[in-house]
Amino acid sequence: MDISKSLRILVIFLLSFCMFLNGLQGAETQKDDTSDEMDFPERMMMMKSTTVALRVGKENVLWGSIYPTIKRLLAQKTAAESEVNNNVAETKVRSYLQQLAQRTMFLQEARELKLEVTEEERKAYEHELEGLMKSRSRTIEDYKKALGNEPSTPAHVNYEDTLRLVKLEHLKVGEQDLTPQQLAQYRVYMQAMNQSMEMQNKQRRKRVEAIRKDPAIETAEGFAEMAKQFSEGKEGDFGGEMDYDFTREDLAEVNELKSFDWKVGETTPILETSNCFRIMRILRVVSPAQEGQPEKYRVAQMLFAKLPLDDTSDDAIKRRVLPRMRQAKLEEYAKELAQKYPVSTILFPDGLWVDPPEAVDENKEKSQKGEKQTGAKKTPIEAVPEEKK
If you average pLDDT over residues 323-344, what whole number do you get? 90
Nearest-5° angle of CA 183, CA 189, CA 194?
120
Q: Kindly indicate whether the domain formed by 45-178+316-368 is annotated with CATH number 1.10.4030.
A: yes
Q: Which residue has the higher pLDDT, 233 or 376?
A: 233
Residue 222 CA to residue 243 CA, distance in Å, equals 19
Given a cut of 50, is residue 37 above it in pLDDT?
yes
Considering the chain, what is the average pLDDT of its residues? 82
Around Cβ 266, how many Cβ atoms within 10 Å? Answer: 11
If you average pLDDT over residues 9-16, what whole number do you get? 53
Q: Are 302 and 279 in contact (CB under 8 A)?
A: yes
- Reference 31, options 364, 381, 346; nearest CA is 346
Q: How does DSSP assign 133-165, residue by residue?
A: HHHTT--HHHHHHHH-SSPPBTTB--HHHHHHH
Torsion of CA 165, 169, 171, 176, to 10 degrees: -150
Residue 357, Cβ density class (10 Å: 0-12 exposed, 13-18 middle, ≥19 buried) = exposed
What tens digit of pLDDT does each residue of 228-287 get? 999 999 999 999 999 999 999 999 999 999 999 999 999 999 999 999 999 999 999 998
What tens digit of pLDDT does each residue of 106-120 get? 999 999 999 999 999
Q: What is the pLDDT of residue 78?
A: 56
Q: What is the pLDDT of residue 138?
A: 81
What tens digit of pLDDT does each residue of 288-324 get? 878 888 899 999 999 999 999 999 999 999 989 998 9
Around Cβ 114, how many Cβ atoms within 10 Å? Answer: 7
What tens digit of pLDDT does each residue of 167-218 get? 999 898 888 889 999 999 999 999 999 999 999 999 999 999 999 999 999 9
Q: Which residue has the higher pLDDT, 298 or 29?
A: 298
Q: What percent of the chain has pLDDT over 90?
A: 56
If you average pLDDT over residues 115-143, what whole number do you get? 84
| Banded pLDDT at 366 (limits 50, 70, 90) | very low
Q: What is the pLDDT of residue 113?
A: 94
Q: Are 346 and 53 in contact (CB under 8 A)?
A: yes
Lowest mean pLDDT among 96-110, 118-132, 227-241: 118-132
Q: What is the pLDDT of residue 4?
A: 55
Residue 252, Cβ density class (10 Å: 0-12 exposed, 13-18 middle, ≥19 buried) = middle
- Reference 385, options 34, 40, 37, 46; nearest CA is 46
